[in-house]
Amino acid sequence: MKVLVIGGGAREHALVRAFGADAAVDRIVCAPGNAGIAAEAATRVVPVDVADPAALLALAVREGAELTVVGPELPLARGVADAFADAGRLLFGPSRSAAALESSKAFAKTFMARHGIPTARFEVCTDEGQALEAVAGERFGFPVVVKADGLAAGKGVTVAPDRDAAERAVREAMVARRFGDAGATVVIEECLTGSEVSCFVIADGRRSVTLPAAQDHKRIFDGDAGPNTGGMGAFGPSPLFGPDVESRVMREIVTPALDGMRAEGREYRGVLYVGLMLTRDGPQVIEFNVRLGDPEAQVILPMVESGLVPVLLGAARGDLGDAEWRVTADPRVGVVMASGGYPGAYETGLPISGLAEASSVPGVHVAHAGTAMKDGVVVTSGGRVLTVVARGESFEQAVARAYDAVGRIRFPGSHVRTDIGRKALIAAAGRGRA
Ligand code: AMP
Ligand code: GLY
């Protein structure tokens, strides 16, 4: 079977590797891909504008792709699944109306309210006056969270410590239009406290199978300091996501979400990413995303032991059937190597060395994100450049292997957090087995 993967980050590299290991797949096309994806066996990369559903459909037709799998949210929000469905082509990912769970935070929050899904108290504000009033009063207290309604490349959320900061965030979104139309509406909400966990299910509209949960590291610096990023590293399975939490999340969140979306005529087929805060009052939804997380995918996809393709095909067709689903629970840690200056401005085109040496560390592979080939050399081409992923018999071993490999890779100005996975070590130590 020929599979088309849409996207060009480390998450898509992880998808391509998972398909490469699947006996059902003999050829892979990735659009636009990157230098690491291009080097995978039986894989070709093709340049394409991922924001253009018609171009993606034309590519799938031209390539004879029997299954298309979408990595990022943008093509889904633009209706790529609808374009494929109209043309009778199989694509794994939700329709445009179902993708509203990520593309409109106002929709997601009101949806959760309608279906009794636990989430932070909120108000949807469609004008500046209403938003300034919402952040002024006692209602949400401080810190208060200000969120642009639409897609804002991960930059639309401000956790404001005081009223000044909250008002600034409102004005940036609604008046200065820092996120364009995405900030015309904002959601003001209560700040939740607890531990964040990323939980993923693959849904066929009614039923779902569960991937191991992971923990991301969103801030740029050690100790969760500095600005938010796309994610600087991840580990999984999350020690915080035991069987009790999992069954509660399924009962209180995933099942009502799938049922509610179906009832509202927005049947959900694809990966549902539930961003959770584990609070004292139980798990609450911080956000829904309609795709795998990045860097979470790089650590959890290798845990899928059964073939990924039958499950994705079943979900795309609307019936998971009895496709086999088996995942392992061996600890994995992924450390992101970023360009100096990220998430702000950074230089690109810098040569990367030591990739082969890194991959020779036992249990390690390197997923490429912002990389390109220039004159036969792999160079940087984005903010997040690589995710160095290590498997271990314990988190301790996985962390040690990941950082051993990171130390072998060099490019000018590279930045890594040095504490990825530390929370897993602490959780394990707390249970008396480090
Ligand atoms: P997002 O861009 O929607 O992934 O949000 C970015 C980050 O903001 C999340 O990963 C959380 O750390 C934080 N966040 C969003 N909403 C809340 C909330 N209601 N309470 C506390 N933190 C939040
Ligand atoms: N790692 C967070 C995200 O993919 O949104």
pLDDT in tens, 88-116: 999 999 999 999 999 999 999 999 999 99
% residues pLDDT > 70 (the chain): 99
**Shared-domain flag, residues 203 and 167:** no
Task: Share the mean pLDDT of the chain.
Answer: 96
**Shared-domain flag, residues 74 and 151:** no
- Determine, yes or no, domain membership for 323: no
pLDDT greater than 80 at residue 408: yes
- Determine, yes or no, domain membership for 109: no
Closest CA to 349 of 13, 10, 35: 35
- Output the pLDDT for position 168: 96
- Determine, yes or no, domain membership for 116: no
Total domains present in the chain: 4
- Determine, yes or no, domain membership for 419: yes
Given 160, 190, 220, the domain boundary residue is 190
What average pLDDT does this structure show over 279-284? Answer: 96
Please work out whether the CB of residue 287 comes within 6 Å of at least one atom of ligand 2.
no
Given 167, 190, 213, the domain boundary residue is 190
What are the CA-CA distances from residue 90 to residues 61, 84, 256, 358 (Å)?
Answer: 11, 7, 26, 37
What is the whole-number distance in angstroms between the Cα of residue 216 and the centre of ligand 2? 7
Which ligand is closest to the CA of 271, given by its number?
A: 2
What average pLDDT does this structure show over 271-297? Answer: 98
pLDDT greater than 90 at residue 155: no
Report the distance separating Cα 387 and Cα 407, nearest Å.
13
CATH of the domain at 132: 3.30.1490.20
What average pLDDT does this structure show over 283-299? Answer: 98
Task: Tell me which residue has its CA closest to atom 3 in ligand 2.
Answer: 293
Task: Tell me which residue has its CA closest to atom 5 in ligand 2.
Answer: 293
Please work out whether the CB of residue 229 comes within 6 Å of at least one atom of ligand 2.
no
- Output the pLDDT for position 405: 98
- Output the pLDDT for position 432: 54
Q: What is the pLDDT of residues 173-212, one digit of tens each?
A: 999 999 999 999 999 999 999 999 999 999 999 999 999 9
**Shared-domain flag, residues 81 and 27:** yes
pLDDT greater than 60 at residue 297: yes
- Output the pLDDT for position 347: 98
What is the whole-number distance in angstroms between the Cα of residue 133 and the centre of ligand 2? 31
What does the H/E/C string look like for the chain?
CEEEEEECCHHHHHHHHHHHCCCCCCEEEEEECCHHHHCCCCEEECCCCCCCHHHHHHHHHHHCCCEEEECCHHHHHCCHHHHHHHCCCCEECCCCCCCHHHHCHHHHHHHHHHCCCCECCEEEECCHHHHHHHHHCCCCCCCEEEEECCCCCCCCEEEECCHHHHHHHHHHHHCCCCCHHHHCCEEEEECCCCEEEEEEEEEECCCEEECCCEEECCEEEHHHEEEECCCCEEEECCCCCCHHHHHHHHHHHHHHHHHHHHHCCCCCEEEEEEEEEEECCEEEEEEEECCCCCCHHHHHHHHECCCHHHHHHHHHHCCCCCCCCCECCCCEEEEEEECCCCCCCCCCCCECECHHHHHCCCCEEEEECCEEEECCEEEECCCEEEEEEEECCCHHHHHHHHHHHHCCCECCCCECCCCCCHHHHHHHHHCCCC
- Output the pLDDT for position 137: 76
What is the whole-number distance in angstroms between the Cα of residue 431 and the centre of ligand 1? 28
Q: What is the pLDDT of residues 344-391, one digit of tens each?
A: 999 999 999 999 999 999 999 999 999 999 999 999 999 999 999 999
Which ligand is closest to the CA of 299, given by its number?
A: 2
- Output the pLDDT for position 138: 82
- Determine, yes or no, domain membership for 105: no
What is the whole-number distance in angstroms between the Cα of residue 286 and the centre of ligand 1? 6
**Shared-domain flag, residues 57 and 167:** no
Phi, psi dihedrals of residue 349, rounded to the nearest 5°: 85, 15
What is the whole-number distance in angstroms between the Cα of residue 314 and the centre of ligand 2? 25
pLDDT greater than 50 at residue 434: no
Tell me how far apart the terminal alpha carbons of the chain are, to the nearest angstrom: 43
Atom of ligand 1 nearest to the CA of 192: 20
Please work out whether the CB of residue 189 comes within 6 Å of at least one atom of ligand 1.
yes
- Mutate which of 229, 273, 384, 420 for ligand 2? The one with the most ligand atoms within 8 Å of its CB, which is 273
Task: Tell me which residue has its CA closest to atom 5 in ligand 1.
Answer: 157
Please work out whether the CB of residue 102 comes within 6 Å of at least one atom of ligand 2.
no
205-209, 296-300, 322-326, 427-431: least confidently modelled range:
427-431
**Shared-domain flag, residues 74 and 125:** no
- Output the pLDDT for position 433: 47
Query: Domain of 27?
Result: 2-93
Atom of ligand 1 nearest to the CA of 189: 19
- Output the pLDDT for position 154: 78
What are the CA-CA distances from residue 261 to residues 95, 173, 335 (Å)?
Answer: 11, 28, 35
- Determine, yes or no, domain membership for 111: no
CATH of the domain at 404: 3.90.600.10
**Shared-domain flag, residues 177 and 205:** no
- Output the pLDDT for position 293: 98
**Shared-domain flag, residues 231 and 342:** no
pLDDT greater than 50 at residue 75: yes
Please work out whether the CB of residue 192 comes within 6 Å of at least one atom of ligand 1.
yes
**Shared-domain flag, residues 32 and 85:** yes
- Determine, yes or no, domain membership for 225: yes
**Shared-domain flag, residues 201 and 139:** no
